[in-house]
């Protein structure tokens, strides 16, 4: 089934100069390998087409079931130089969570009662 | 109690001891228990634990059985209550953070140290500008009033303060504190230490002449290309001078550009006597520091998970309960709002992360891929397993330099066709800038309410948006050119698309752009210049 990342993961983003970082964390351990397989550096670069003007680097943190992405040249020069409203990349986290990936129905069923899903879907 | 209407009073008269707080029922109702949807068990025994050390089975095991009994026993043993515990409370995550937080941190329950982080990458340059205008300025002024307010509590409770509030003028900061404390009646004087030697502005030419290029860490350009525009240059100092200050008996340690994390782990080195080459212990301290350094961001602030359920009206900021073996628990005062779970802590751990295996500090290279978290429930998350490697022979330098001028103006357009009107306003403005022959290094247009944050990912602007704010920014090396732009926003009100508002602020302000130049320098070139002295105030 195709799902938005926000249904299976959460994230926080920040900045280092002109580079935005996004930490993407799986709600459940069983989802982490899916993130590793699906949310590649290439896909993230493609997702942020027009926003990220440099390379995307990815680091794996299985201990935190997290992936860390560095999006180079994404903040209009960064810091005080940038003219962007979001010069510190604070909203990049949820921009990534818009991405849709394929997850097996079996894995999703196990996640049905987990926190972090939009309340409307909790029913 | 309805926290929204009756914020938690600082319970200065009734300090909560650690035994009371840790005991049964001492924590009060957890915010989670009131979770209307019941997403979480009250004490979250089944909160996901992802200790990779227990093997790959963890990945697919149901949450309730992620720890085998042997591991649980080992954890129990590691939590021997007779073992020495040092509590480092975080009180400020940046210059401008909530002033009540450090007071609540000291007065609501037991902590041993209060760490206050005021410095972001460009804060030093702002302080440098203040100092140029007024030689006694250049530090976080609100720190002085905060210390005056807290001084009796610090003496009474034996809480020591470690802060980088000194900015570019730690000595001036202490002098101001001395004057302010003169009117405070204290049972004993406070010993206040100042760390100096991070400011290398006066030695830049000496370094460049001596073969230190101070090249930009990302672009590789040598500093000489912007040398005449440099406004401030400070080395990130580590824990050593802070430890020296604590050894001198300082109640308050004021530093300039210390690393944010050192403010938390220097007290741990002092208390536990960790060796300067015990890389794993130091790396644990760095992780603790990283969790503390952004204040409420580790205790539910800016947290995505369950944000609706977290009461942030009067939040508790993070407290690190550390043990000599490098393990620690992240928690907060139970009487305050906020939340500590594996999610809130994990979000902070990945915040502003680079290569997780190479978290470089002046004292150690920490490996964040070794961190093991365990959510114990009741706003307690245990951290262990952190590994580190030998420190490098370089120190990072934070350099700020003038890089032209910028201005940003906004106007808000109302329904109907709000986005279309804003876009037309932008066309008119751009046309006029061209008509006037104005050219800029950069012009940027964003539509707040219609994709300013997520761009094309947000999808096409909706026809029925109630309002859209046109936001136009320009940047240029020439101040007059930027100033000319600031005169072109307001005319759009009468000579532009209809139903426009939001101009009460007047013309946009021309701002100096101070850019950041990160560089490395040989440790030996600067460390000898670091001094620590403590006086009684």
Dump pLDDT digits (tens) for B363-386: 999 999 999 999 999 999 999 999
Q: Which B residues 479-518 touch A at CB under 8 Å?
A: 511, 513-516, 518
Measured distance CA(A100)–CA(A111) in Å, rounded: 16
Residue A122 has pLDDT above 50, yes or no: no
- Stated as kind and residue range, the H or E segment containing B76 is helix B69-78
Q: Which of B406, B403, B404 is nearest to B486 (CA)?
A: B406
Contact A59 B356 (CB under 8 A): yes
**% helix / strand / coil in chain B, to the nearest 5?**
35, 25, 45
Contact A63 B371 (CB under 8 A): yes
Q: Which B residues 371-410 touch A at CB under 8 Å?
A: 371-373, 385, 403, 406, 408
- Stated as kind and residue range, the H or E segment containing B518 is strand B511-522
B chain contacts of residue A77, beta-carbon cutoff 8 Å: 515
Closest Cβ opposite residue B444 in set A11, A66, A84:
A84
Measured distance CA(B19)–CA(B26) in Å, rounded: 9
Q: Which residue ranges form the domains of chain B, and what is each CATH number?
A: 82-205+233-396+525-536 (no CATH), 400-517 (3.30.70)
Q: What is the 3-state secondary structure (H, E, C) of B9-57?
A: CCCCCCCCCHHHHHCCCCCCCCHHHHCCCCCCCCCCCCCCCCCHHHCCH
Quickly count: other Cβ atoms within 10 Å of residue B203's Cβ: 15
pLDDT 10s digits, B313-362: 999 999 999 999 999 999 999 999 999 999 999 999 999 999 999 999 99
Contact A23 B349 (CB under 8 A): yes
Which of A4, A15, A61, A104 should be substituted to probe chain B, the one whose Cβ sees the most B Cβ atoms within 10 Å? A61
Longest dimension (CA), chain B: 77
Q: Is A2 helix (H, G, I), strand (E, B) or coil?
A: strand
pLDDT 10s digits, A97-112: 999 999 998 888 765 5
Q: Of A4-8, B3-7, B490-494, B515-519, which range is least confident?
A: B3-7
Q: What residue of A is the nearest CA neighbor of B39? A: A115
Q: Is B458 helix (H, G, I), strand (E, B) or coil?
A: helix
Inter-residue contact B233 to B207 (CB < 8 Å): no
Closest Cβ opposite residue A79 in set B60, B122, B368:
B122
B86 touching A (Cβ < 8 Å): no
Task: Give the predicted TM-score (pTM) of the model.
Answer: 0.86
Bridge partners of B237, per DSSP, are: B258
Q: Which B residues 233-272 touch A at CB under 8 Å?
A: none
Contacts of B107 by beta carbon, 8 Å cutoff, 6+ apart: B10, B11, B12, B15, B153
Measured distance CA(A68)–CA(A14) in Å, rounded: 11
pLDDT 10s digits, B424-460: 999 999 999 999 999 999 999 999 999 999 999 998 8
Whether the complex's predicted ipTM is more than 0.85 is answered with yes
Which tokens is B405 given?
A: 């001028």
pLDDT 10s digits, B64-122: 334 444 555 555 555 566 789 999 999 999 999 999 999 999 999 999 999 999 998 77
Inter-residue contact B325 to B78 (CB < 8 Å): yes
Q: Minimal Cα–Cα distance from A16 to chain B, Å?
A: 7
Measured distance CA(A123)–CA(B92) in Å, rounded: 39
Q: Of A63-67, B297-301, B462-466, which range is least confident?
A: B462-466
Measured distance CA(B222)–CA(B215) in Å, rounded: 4
Measured distance CA(B488)–CA(B217) in Å, rounded: 38
Contact A91 B454 (CB under 8 A): yes
Which tokens is B295 given?
A: 């204040």
Angle at B68 between CA B66 and CA B73, to 5 degrees: 125
B114 to B220, B255, B371: CA distances (angstroms): 38, 14, 24
Which of B129, B353, B407 should be substituted to probe chain A, the one whose Cβ sees the most A Cβ atoms within 10 Å? B353
Which tokens is B108 given?
A: 């609501």
């Amino acid at each position: 089934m195709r799902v938005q990342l926000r249904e299976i993961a959460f994230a926080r983003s920040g900045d280092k100069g002109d580079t935005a970082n996004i930490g993407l964390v799986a709600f459940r351990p069983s989802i982490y390998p899916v993130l590793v397989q699906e949310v590649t550096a290439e896909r993230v670069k493609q997702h942020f087409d027009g926003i990220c003007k440099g390379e995307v680097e990815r680091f794996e943190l299985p201990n935190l079931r997290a992936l860390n992405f560095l999006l180079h040249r994404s903040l209009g020069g960064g810091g005080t130089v940038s003219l962007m409203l979001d010069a510190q990349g604070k909203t990049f986290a949820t921009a990534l969570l818009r991405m849709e990936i394929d997850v097996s129905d079996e894995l999703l069923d196990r996640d049905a009662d987990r926190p972090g899903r939009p309340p409307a879907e909790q029913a | 109690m309805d926290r929204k209407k009756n914020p938690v009073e600082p319970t200065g008269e009734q300090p909560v001891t650690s035994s009371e707080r840790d005991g049964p029922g001492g924590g009060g109702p957890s915010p989670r228990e009131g979770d209307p949807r019941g997403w979480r068990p009250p004490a979250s025994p089944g909160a996901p634990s992802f200790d990779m050390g227990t093997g790959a089975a963890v990945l697919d095991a149901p949450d309730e059985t992620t720890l085998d009994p042997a591991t649980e026993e080992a954890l129990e043993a590691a939590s021997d209550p007779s073992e020495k515990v040092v509590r480092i409370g975080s009180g400020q995550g940046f210059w401008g953070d909530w002033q009540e937080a450090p007071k609540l941190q000291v007065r609501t329950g037991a902590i041993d140290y209060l760490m206050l982080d005021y410095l972001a990458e460009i804060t030093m340059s702002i302080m440098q500008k203040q100092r140029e205008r007024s030689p006694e300025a250049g530090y976080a002024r609100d720190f002085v009033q905060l210390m005056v307010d807290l001084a009796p509590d610090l003496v009474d409770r034996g809480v020591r303060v470690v802060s980088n509030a000194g900015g570019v003028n730690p000595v001036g900061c202490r002098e101001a504190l001395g004057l302010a404390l003169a009117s405070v009646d204290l049972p004993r004087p406070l010993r206040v230490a100042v760390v100096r030697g991070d400011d290398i502005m006066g030695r830049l030419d000496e370094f460049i002449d001596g073969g230190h290029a101070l090249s930009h860490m990302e672009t590789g350009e040598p500093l000489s290309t912007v040398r005449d525009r440099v406004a401030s240059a400070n080395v990130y100092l580590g824990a050593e001078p802070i430890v020296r200050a604590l050894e001198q008996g300082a109640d308050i340690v004021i530093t300039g550009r210390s690393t944010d994390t050192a403010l938390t782990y220097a007290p741990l080195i002092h208390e536990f006597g960790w060796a300067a080459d015990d890389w794993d212990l130091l790396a644990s301290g760095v992780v603790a520091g990283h969790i503390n350094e952004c204040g409420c961001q580790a205790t539910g602030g800016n947290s995505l998970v369950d944000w609706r359920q977290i009461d942030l009206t009067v939040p508790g900021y993070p407290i690190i309960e550390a043990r000599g073996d490098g393990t620690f628990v992240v928690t907060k005062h139970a009487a305050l709002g906020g939340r500590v779970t594996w999610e809130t802590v994990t979000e902070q751990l990945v915040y502003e992360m680079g290569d997780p295996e190479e978290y470089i500090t002046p004292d150690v290279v920490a490996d964040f891929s070794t961190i093991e978290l365990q959510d114990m429930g009741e706003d307690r998350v245990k951290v262990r397993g952190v590994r580190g490697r030998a420190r490098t022979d370089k120190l990072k330098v934070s350099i700020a330099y003038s890089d032209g001028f910028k201005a940003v103006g906004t106007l808000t357009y109302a329904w109907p066709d709000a986005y279309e009107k804003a876009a037309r306003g932008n066309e008119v403005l751009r046309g006029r800038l061209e008509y006037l022959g104005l050219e800029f290094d950069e012009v940027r247009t964003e539509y707040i309410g219609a994709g300013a944050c997520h761009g094309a990912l947000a999808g096409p602007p909706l026809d029925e948006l109630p309002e859209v704010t046109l936001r136009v920014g320009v940047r240029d090396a020439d101040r007059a050119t930027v100033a000319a732009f600031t005169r072109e926003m307001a005319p759009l009100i009468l000579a532009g698309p209809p139903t426009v508002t939001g101009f009460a602020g007047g013309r946009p302000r021309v701002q100096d752009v101070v850019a950041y130049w990160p560089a490395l320098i040989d440790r030996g070139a600067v460390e000898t210049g670091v001094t620590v002295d403590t006086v009684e105030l």
